[in-house]
Amino acid sequence: MKKLALLAIVLSFCTACNRAPQNHVVKETYIHKYGVPCSQSDWEMQGREGQIVRLGKDGVTKTETYHQGILEEETTYTFPHSSLIAKIETYRGGELVGVKEHYMTGVPSVEKVFSDGVLAEVTCWYEDGAPAYTEKYSGGVLEIAEYRTTLNELEGRVHGGQGIRVRRSTTGDLLAKEMIEGGKRVESTIFYPSGEPKEIIPFRDGHVHGTKLTFLAGGVPLAAEEFVGGMREGKTTLYQNGDKVAEVTYMRGKKHGMELRFRDGVDLVEEICWQNDIQHGPTKLYIDGEARTEWYHQGGLVNRATFERMNFPR
Name the band, by pLDDT with cuts 50, 70 and 90, for residue 262.
Answer: very high
pLDDT for the residue 305 = 86
pLDDT surpassing 70 at residue 6:
no
DSSP string, the chain: -HHHHHHHHHHHHS---PPPPGGGEEEEEEEETTS-EE-HHHHHHTTS-EEEEEEETTS-EEEEEEETTEE-EEEEEEPTTSSSEEEEEEEETTEEEEEEEE-TTS-EEEEEEEETTEEEEEEEE-TTS-EEEEEEEETTEEEEEEEE-TT--EEEEEETTEEEEEEE-TT--EEEEEEEETTEEEEEEEE-TTS-EEEEEEEETTEE-EEEEEE-TTS-EEEEEEEETTEEEEEEEEEETTEEEEEEEEETTEEEEEEEEEETTTEEEEEEEEETTEE-EEEEEEETTEEEEEEEETTEEE-HHHHHHHHS--
Q: pLDDT by residue (tens digit) across 268-309?
A: 999 999 999 999 999 999 988 789 999 999 999 999 989 888
pLDDT surpassing 90 at residue 20:
no
pLDDT for the residue 139 = 87
For strands 281-287 and 267-275, give the pairing.
antiparallel
Name the band, by pLDDT with cuts 50, 70 and 90, for residue 7.
Answer: very low
Q: State mean pLDDT over 46-60.
A: 94
- Give the integer Cα–Cα distance in Å for 131 and 243: 43
| Least confident interval from 19-23, 78-82, 103-107, 309-313 | 19-23
Using an 8 Å Cβ cutoff, are 145 and 158 in contact? yes
Question: What domains, with CATH codes, occur in the chain?
Answer: 192-314 (2.20.110)
Using an 8 Å Cβ cutoff, are 225 and 236 in contact? yes
Using an 8 Å Cβ cutoff, are 75 and 97 in contact? no
Name the band, by pLDDT with cuts 50, 70 and 90, for residue 3.
Answer: very low
Q: What is the pTM of this model?
A: 0.80
